[in-house]
Each structure stands twice: as C-alpha cells, then as structure tokens.
C-alpha cells in the first residue's frame, strides 16, 4: 500500500473504503502499521465512529470536516507523544523490570517472562505510564494527558480501546499472568501478578517494592 511505502505520521482514512482484500481499509492499516489513525465517517454515523474506535483508531470524526479542525486534531495527536519519545530515546540503556514484566525503554520492547510482545507506539506509551506508577491507579484523564497531550480533542474512550488491544496481546503471550487491572469507575493499574515482586531502577524515582 502507498501508506506503507513512506510511513506517514498520521493516516486519515475514510471508514467506507475497502482494502484490496475486501476488509475495511482502516482495519487492515491498523493491523499492519503503528501510525496514528483518524477515521472519517458520515454525518450522524455515531455507531460507525464508535466501531472504528473499538477497532483501534486514535480518533474518529464526522464529515464534512473543516480543514482547520482536521489540522488541529492532527497536531494534538502528534504534540505530546513526540516529547515522550524524545525522553525515552534519552534513556537508551534503561529498563523497567516489574516481576515477570520487562520494558526496555531504549529499544521500546516489552516482554512477559520469555515472550516478547509486539506493541504499537500508543500501547507502549500507555504501558510505560502504568509502570512508572506501579502501585497506583492511573485515571483515563491522566493517561490521556501523558500520552495524547493536554489539548487532546478526541474521545477519551481511546484509552480503553488501546489498553484492551494491549491486554489481548499480553494475555496471548502469557495466559497465566495478568498484567493490567481495571479499577471500575476510576482507571487502570498494574495487576498483582506484576506488582508482587517489583524491581525498578531508582533513576525513575520509584520505590523498590510495592
């Protein structure tokens, strides 16, 4: 696909378009790329917007859409993650080790036990935020602020969608280890399977035990 040939930062996709294989184009792009994705649906198609968010899109908007709003939404998606990426690249030799979970910040790799888990950029950033506060609950607003930025204008439900996709990958890699726990009505935290035995670099200002 053209999008895979030059790897853009953001993909803006019409939700009605199909891939050459007959699948919705945004689903195929989501499976094969880590770029931010914004889907455009018809006016009043709230069910379509909800469906694309459940499928992993970072934002969903209705047409017609003014170009100023489109640009603002794109800038909001890119603003904070790039700053987070710069901080991570400055810590190329740092890893977070939390029981069976290991996150290599420099290489941006996640492992549960001996199994490597392939994550998207957003999934990795969300997991990193949970690991930096391993014994605390992170609210959706806090995760939105840390990963998408304080000026995010999209649906807060994107946090649930990306964490659900991440949890599915983690469960597949290690079915007997629960990594992410949902605190109903509040937010998310690391599960006890991870926090029972924590070993965290002091450079991150975190205690060595739960």
Lowest mean pLDDT among 21-30, 53-62, 103-112: 21-30
CB burial of 154-181 (b: ≥16 within 10 Å; e: otherwise) equals bbeebbbbbbebbbebbbebbeebebbb
Residue ranges matching CATH 1.10.10.10 in the chain = 81-203
Q: How confident is the model at residue 79 (pLDDT cuts 50, 70, 90)?
A: low
**59 vs 31, more confident:** 59
DSSP 34-87: -SEEEEEE-TT-HHHHHHHHHTT-SEEEESS--HHHHHHHHHHHHHHHHHHHHH
The pLDDT of residue 172 is: 92
pLDDT 10s digits, 152-167: 767 778 899 899 999 9
**Rounded to the nearest 10 degrees, what angle do helices 158-173 and 121-132 cross at?**
90
Mean pLDDT calculated for residue range 46-62: 81
pTM, two decimal places: 0.56
Residue ranges matching CATH 3.40.50.2300 in the chain = 1-65
Measured over the CA atoms of residue 187, residue 56, residue 86 and residue 150, the dihedral's sign is negative
**210 vs 35, more confident:** 35
**Burial of residue 18, with CB atoms counted within 10 A of its CB: 0-12 exposed, 13-18 middle, 19 or more buried:** exposed
Candidates 1.20.1340.10, 1.10.10.10, 2.60.120.640, 2.60.120.260; correct CATH number of 81-203? 1.10.10.10
The pLDDT of residue 135 is: 82
Task: Supply 21's token pair.
Answer: 């294989």
Mean per-residue pLDDT over the chain, rounded: 78
The pLDDT of residue 2 is: 55
Q: How far apart are CA 37 and CA 53, in angstroms?
A: 10
Q: How far apart are CA 54 and CA 165, in angstroms?
A: 9
Contact 129, 143 (CB under 8 A): yes
Contacts of 53 (CB under 8 A, 6+ apart): 59, 60, 155, 157, 158, 161
CATH number of 1-65: 3.40.50.2300
Contacts of 129 (CB under 8 A, 6+ apart): 138, 142, 143, 146, 147
pLDDT 10s digits, 115-156: 999 998 889 999 999 988 888 899 998 998 888 877 776 777
Mean pLDDT calculated for residue range 2-8: 56
Q: How confident is the model at residue 34 (pLDDT cuts 50, 70, 90)?
A: low
């Amino acid at each position: 696909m053209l999008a895979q040939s030059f790897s853009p930062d953001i993909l803006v996709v019409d939700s009605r378009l199909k891939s050459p294989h007959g699948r919705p184009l945004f689903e195929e792009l989501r499976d094969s790329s880590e770029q931010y994705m914004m889907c455009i649906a018809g006016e009043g198609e709230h069910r379509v917007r909800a469906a694309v968010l459940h499928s992993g899109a970072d934002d969903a908007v209705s047409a017609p859409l003014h170009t100023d709003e489109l640009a603002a939404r794109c800038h909001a998606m890119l603003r904070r993650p790039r700053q987070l990426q710069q901080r991570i690249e400055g810590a190329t030799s740092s890893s977070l080790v939390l029981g069976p979970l290991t996150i290599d910040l420099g290489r941006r790799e996640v492992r549960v036990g001996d199994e490597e888990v392939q994550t998207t950029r957003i999934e990795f950033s969300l997991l990193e935020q949970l690991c930096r506060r391993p014994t605390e609950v992170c609210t959706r607003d806090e995760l939105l602020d840390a990963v998408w930025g304080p000026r995010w204008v999209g649906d807060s439900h994107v946090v649930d969608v990306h964490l659900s996709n991440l949890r599915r990958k983690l469960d597949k890699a290690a079915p007997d280890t629960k990594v992410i726990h949902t605190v109903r009505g509040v937010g998310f935290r690391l599960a006890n399977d991870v926090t029972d035995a924590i070993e965290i670099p002091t450079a991150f200002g975190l205690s060595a035990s739960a």
